Structure 1
Amino acid sequence: MEPQHLRIAGDLMEKIDEGDYAPGAQLPTEEELMREWGTSRNTVRRALQELANRGRIDTKQGSGSTVRRYRPTLHLASPAPAGSDAERYEAYINRLREEEGKVPTERLEVGREPAAGVLAGLLKLDPDNPRAFVVIRRCDRVIGPQLWQRQESYYPGFIAEGTALELPTDIPGGTKDVIAALGYPQTGAWDVIGAKMPSLKDSARFGIGPGVPLLVHERVAYSGTTPIRFTRTTMPADRHKLFYAEGDIDPGVLRTITDVSVYER
């Protein structure tokens, strides 16, 4: 027989999923749940902890438990009409600034590292060649005190060395235009997206609560058969949703789905 705290948690989860308790709504108090289920305070607290561990509620001592409210960023996981991923992020943070007073910032770091391991294989660089290296552009997007998203792009040294890609400044036209001007127009790419539970360091870096995985989006772009960029975007799953488009999509679609959350129905 299923333990009682899991039955209580399952019942509350079903009511959250069906909309009986909307995002931001207060759950019944511990006393109310104890009376409803004829059980102990410890059992009720274990049930609520189960929901907190799954990232579905927030619990504060003395304030009770509320259904978590999600406001995810739209991350374009494929090329799409009506603007770039950066522009969609800009629109999102402008809304947060107006509604919640949160101040967004971006931190850009540029560096080099030797080509080694899986990265060398993806970019077809010889790890035994001491002159083989990659240029790294790391952009951290921060909202308030929290790291919201980290994007790291790696460029073969033979392409990036001595170019604007090595400068720690924003590139108005985008790095794709810089690479194309160097004789390597992007002709194709592949993507892999997965999820993993964060390490302790990741949890602290992103300010991740219990039960929240990280989404990791990896892309290798090519010019013909030459790999020209490997990009890894890391983002907490409760703050991002991925958008893929195929075919002739009206630009208004992006505006329509911006406020759609998989957590709300």
Structure 2
Amino acid sequence: MAYEVEAPKYVRLAQTIQRRIEDGTYAPGTRVPSENQLVQSFGMSRPTVVRALELLKRDGWLESRQGFGTIVRGRPAVVEEKDRRGLEALARVESQTPGRLVEVGEVTVPARVASALGLPKSAKVTMRRFLVEEDGEGVELVSSYFAAGLVEGTDLAGADVLSAGVREHLEARKKVRFDHVTERVSARLPEAAEAASLGLPDGVPVLSVLVIACDASGRALQVSDVLLPADRQELEDTYRLN
């Protein structure tokens, strides 16, 4: 059984404010709501609000200006340069990617995916599982889940590889629009089938990147569980110190 620790409240608040900056609710050059307004709007304590704002200032989303308060700077350039597994999962074209489609079918939705999709734990969803390979070796196992209503009229339930990325395919067939992605990273031991696909010996953990792709209203259109062998990964980030 995999366990996932929920992000601290201040991190979740920072992510919410970040999404509002990205969707234009808080436009660059404007002031963000005051600490009192944020406390009242989100029902969080002042220390939590202060920590969230400081995190966003540190990462370049916000800045303090004398006499003006806290101002929106917009999406930092450094964010654009980071490796985003979510973008890869949405844009990857199966027919052009070294690897193979391991499994396609209707499955009972995993608990953490059910929560992201807003479905009961007993719900059935369509899953596409694709193994990315390099030199014949499995390096990434991507399991993508879709609610039943989104699959109708698409090729997502078919056994043939897609000739377009999932995002492009869904936007064309279902007239939906992907707006933002949330990624949650955790570590766990793989299930037997996952370990076999990735060629992992017993006891080697995987990094799980849960990619939640949503429309502008926040409705999850697709949830992908991207598994990476933990013994072959190294996470690195560089940022300025204030």
TM-score (normalizing by structure 1): 0.47
Q: What does residue 232 of structure 1 align with?
A: 225
| Residue pairs, 1:181-220, within 5 angstroms | 181=172, 182-198=174-190, 203-209=195-201, 212-220=204-212
Q: What does residue 128 of structure 2 align with?
A: 137
Q: What does residue 9 of structure 2 align with?
A: none
Q: Deviation of residue 183 (structure 1)?
A: 2.2
Q: Deviation of residue 156 (structure 1)?
A: 0.9
- What whole-Å deviation, never above 9, does each CA across 1:118-167 have from its counterpart, x for those lacking one? 43322123457xxx531111101244564322100001110112311112
- Cα distance in 2, alignment partners of residues 116 and 200 from structure 1: 16
Equivalent pair of 2:141/2:194 in contact (CA under 8 Å): no
Q: Work out whether 1:77 is the aligned partner of 2:77.
A: no
- Cα distance in 1, alignment partners of residues 169 and 93 from structure 2: 17
Any stretches of 5+ residues in structure 1 without a counterpart? 1-73, 91-103, 247-265
Q: Which has the higher contact order (CA 8 A, sep 6+)?
A: 1
Q: What does residue 110 of structure 1 align with?
A: 104
Equivalent pair of 2:93/2:166 in contact (CA under 8 Å): no
Equivalent pair of 1:106/1:139 in contact (CA under 8 Å): yes
Q: Deviation of residue 115 (structure 1)?
A: 4.5
- Cα distance in 2, alignment partners of residues 137 and 151 from structure 1: 8
Of 154, 160, 164, which aligns to 2:151?
Answer: 160
| Residue pairs, 1:168-183, within 5 angstroms | 168-181=159-172, 182-183=174-175
SS in 1 for 2:169: helix
Equivalent pair of 1:191/1:217 in contact (CA under 8 Å): yes
- In the alignment, residue 232 of structure 2 is paired with which amino acid? R
- Cα distance in 2, alignment partners of residues 137 and 235 from structure 1: 17
Q: Deviation of residue 220 (structure 1)?
A: 0.8
- In the alignment, residue 140 of structure 1 is paired with which amino acid? L
- Structure (1 or 2) with the larger CA radius of gyration: 1
Q: Aligned pairs, how many?
A: 153
Q: Deviation of residue 219 (structure 1)?
A: 1.0
Q: Relative to 1, partners in 2 of residues 1:245 and 1:77: Cα closer, same or farther, differing over 3 Å?
A: farther
Equivalent pair of 1:151/1:233 in contact (CA under 8 Å): yes
Root-mean-square deviation (CA, aligned residues, Å) is 3.7
- Taking only the aligned residue pairs, the percentage that are identical comes to 22
TM-score (normalizing by structure 2): 0.50
| Residue pairs, 1:81-100, within 5 angstroms | none
Any stretches of 5+ residues in structure 2 without a counterpart? 1-81
Q: Relative to 1, partners in 2 of residues 1:124 and 1:202: Cα closer, same or farther, differing over 3 Å?
A: closer
Q: Deviation of residue 228 (structure 1)?
A: 0.4
Q: Deviation of residue 197 (structure 1)?
A: 4.0
